[in-house]
Amino acid sequence: MIRKLVLPAILVFGISANAEESYFQDEWDSKGLIGIELGYMGTNYQENTGKKDINDDPIVHKKTTSSPSIGLKLGGETKHYRCFVEGRIWSTDDYNNGAAVGGALQYLIRTNEMFNIFMGLNAGAVNVVNAEWDPYAGADAGVNIDFNENYGIEVGGRYSAVNVGSSEYGKINAFYQGYVTAIFKFTGDY
């Protein structure tokens, strides 16, 4: 019974023989990050029909769509913070293609040198084909698992609300995404 409790605790909290080695030399030691992101994007989409109601207001159809997405992240991290410039694209039958570019600032809760939980804020601009770029802002959270000092994987989710402007084609009102990112970390000491 004790083995059933102790073994998971050791795995979760990462107690190891190398616990005295530090991934970061001090609080503000930093590492560069490059990430390739694969995910599944869901969007709340508003499509203009080109017709008007009796009040001369446009008639719109509201839809929820989902599709695979791919993205790129460039940034850096310290012991407790990460900052990314990121972009992603996706394609769906409802509005052909979409793209988002922006940034993210995340706070890291490190349980050990190879595992952490993150939560943060993201903001940027989102576009669907034949539409204008609209600003978005949202939140993200997830976990990071580092295989060694240079390679890791991030599993997370994000939700972002979009400030909808005017367009004759349609707009995304919000998007949500589950994703997995392969992360390469570097220091410049190579």
Question: In CATH, what number is assigned to the domain containing residue 53?
Answer: 2.40.160.20
Taking the model in full, what pTM does it have? 0.75
Backbone angles phi, psi at 11, to 5 degrees: -65, -40
Q: What are phi and psi of 83, to 5 degrees?
A: -135, 130
User: Is 181 within the bounds of a domain?
Assistant: yes
Q: How confident is the model at residue 38 (pLDDT cuts 50, 70, 90)?
A: very high
Per DSSP, the three-state class of 133 is: coil
Most confident of 62-71, 118-127, 180-189: 118-127
Q: Does 11 reside within a domain?
A: no
Low-confidence winner among 65-74, 77-86, 94-103 (lowest mean pLDDT): 94-103
CB atoms under 10 Å from CB of 138, counted, come to: 20
- Does residue 54 contact residue 45 with C-beta atoms inside 8 Å? no
Residue 134, domain member (yes or no)? yes
- Note down the domain range covering 162: 37-186
Token pair 């979409």 is found at 98
- Domain contains 16: no
**Is the residue at 142 inside a domain?**
yes
In this prediction, residue 165 carries a pLDDT of: 59
Lowest-pLDDT choice from 12-26, 148-162, 164-178: 12-26
The total of structural domains in the chain comes to 1
Q: What is the dihedral of CA 59, 65, 70, 73, to 10 degrees?
A: 70
- Does residue 189 register a pLDDT over 60? no
Highest mean pLDDT among 73-77, 159-163, 168-172: 73-77
Of the given ranges (12-16, 119-123, 129-133, 172-176), which has the lowest mean pLDDT? 12-16
Q: Is residue 19 part of a domain?
A: no
How does pLDDT run across 49-65, given as a tens digit for each residue? Answer: 677 777 667 666 777 88
- Residue 81: inside a domain: yes
In a domain, 13, yes or no: no
Per-residue pLDDT, 68: 93
More confident residue, 34 or 169: 34
Share of the chain above pLDDT 70, in %: 73
Express each pLDDT in 109-161 by its tens digit.
Answer: 998 888 999 999 999 998 876 667 889 999 999 999 999 989 999 999 999 99
Confidence of residue 17 (pLDDT cuts 50, 70, 90): very low
Of the pLDDT bands very low, low, confident and very high (cuts 50, 70, 90), residue 25 is low
